[in-house]
A and B are shown apart, each in its own frame.
Chain A
Amino acid sequence: GENVEQHPSTLSVQEGDSAVIKCTYSDSASNYFPWYKQELGKRPQLIIDIRSNVGEKKDQRIAVTLNKTAKHFSLHITETQPEDSAVYFCAASRSPGNQFYFGTGTSLTVIP
């Protein structure tokens, strides 16, 4: 089955700096890669996703890049703010069934 690795496990940045979180996957059939943000004690919330037919997607301060050949994808957060502090999970999936395989999470702390 699919194996998703995520790095780093913890990340601290100064407010205003950029943060980058990287994930690799093993199953070349995976074609959908969402990123979830989970604040303490709350539900995971989708922040951005990318499909295998594009290499990059951007939504304001958040961007995701995908390298299908190397089987890795990354989350980029620019101009970080304290409210960006949370645990971020990457995931990979493919149809049918569509189960998500999650990474181990990155705890991001933005220092004011």
Chain B
Amino acid sequence: KQEVTQIPAALSVPEGENLVLNCSFTDSAIYNLQWFRQDPGKGLTSLLLIQSSQREQTSGRLNASLDKSSGRSTLYIAASQPGDSATYLCALNPNSGYALNFGKGTSLLVTP
């Protein structure tokens, strides 16, 4: 079964710093990989989706990369802001129409 690991589990940075969140997975046979944001007590907000054939996706200050051969994905957040504080979840889709396999998330705190 696909295992998804996110490191670090928690991260605290001062405002303005660039940061990288890591996601590793054991089975490279994936359909796509998705990064989500979850605020406390709330649902999921999709940030970026990378198809299996893609290497990266960008949206504003966010950039996600995918390296299937090494079983890794990173989420890069540029110029972090206090409003970025949330839990970031990495999820893998093994195939179209299948359920997602989630990591445990990285809890990010950006201090003013």
Do A and B interact? no
